[in-house]
């Protein structure tokens, strides 16, 4: 029976190579070894509108037309976890960015600036929503 072992000199040479490449600035995007994550940017995509397959119980009730209006959902304070539910009841929503303001966080290296956006959305028929989010750009 033959046993195989890893030659430690090859292993060390690999480590030495990695150290050198890091010192020089390395290769690629600095994401480590292995294949990239995700699908990439793609080229255009499909224009087909995909059919909605509900994930939550509320989504299944809406698709089966057991719930007739969004007010029934509000009446029982049910959380809406799928955006398709709102699109189903309110297809003509309009949104407007009200304000974008910079916010800063003090770090050891200085300040980190992010931008906070306030967006109002509604259908001009009594349904209004407010969205607030902070992002790098």
Residue 4 lies in a domain: no
The answer for residues whose C-beta is within 8 angstroms of residue 99's C-beta and 6 or more apart is: 117, 118
pTM summary value: 0.56
Residue 23 lies in a domain: no
Q: Are residues 76 and 97 in the same domain?
A: no
Domain that holds residue 134: 92-137
pLDDT digits (tens, 9 = 90+) for 59-118: 999 999 999 999 999 999 999 999 999 999 999 999 999 999 999 999 999 999 999 999
Residue scoring higher pLDDT (4 or 51)? 51
Tell me the chain's radius of gyration from C-alpha atoms.
Answer: 26
Instruction: Decide: residue 36, CB within 10 A, 0-12 exposed, 13-18 middle, 19+ buried.
Output: exposed
Q: Are residues 76 and 115 in the same domain?
A: no
Q: What is the pLDDT of residue 50?
A: 79
Count of domains observed in the chain? 2
Residue 108 lies in a domain: yes
Q: What is the CATH number of the domain that holds 112?
A: 3.30.160.20
CA angle 119, 136, 38 (to 5 degrees): 100
């Amino acid at each position: 029976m033959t046993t195989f072992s890893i030659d430690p000199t090859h292993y060390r040479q690999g480590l030495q190579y990695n150290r050198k490449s890091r010192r020089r600035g390395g290769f690629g995007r600095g994401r480590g070894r292995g294949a990239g994550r995700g699908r990439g940017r793609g080229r255009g995509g499909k224009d087909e509108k995909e059919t909605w397959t509900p994930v939550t119980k509320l989504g299944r009730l809406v698709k089966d037309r057991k719930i007739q209006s969004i007010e029934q959902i509000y009446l029982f304070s049910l959380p809406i976890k799928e955006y398709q539910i709102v699109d189903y009841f309110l297809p003509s929503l309009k949104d407007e960015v009200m304000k974008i303001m910079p916010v800063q966080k003090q770090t050891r290296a200085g300040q980190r600036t992010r931008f906070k956006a306030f967006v109002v959305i509604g259908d001009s028929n009594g349904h209004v929503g407010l969205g607030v989010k902070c992002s790098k750009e």
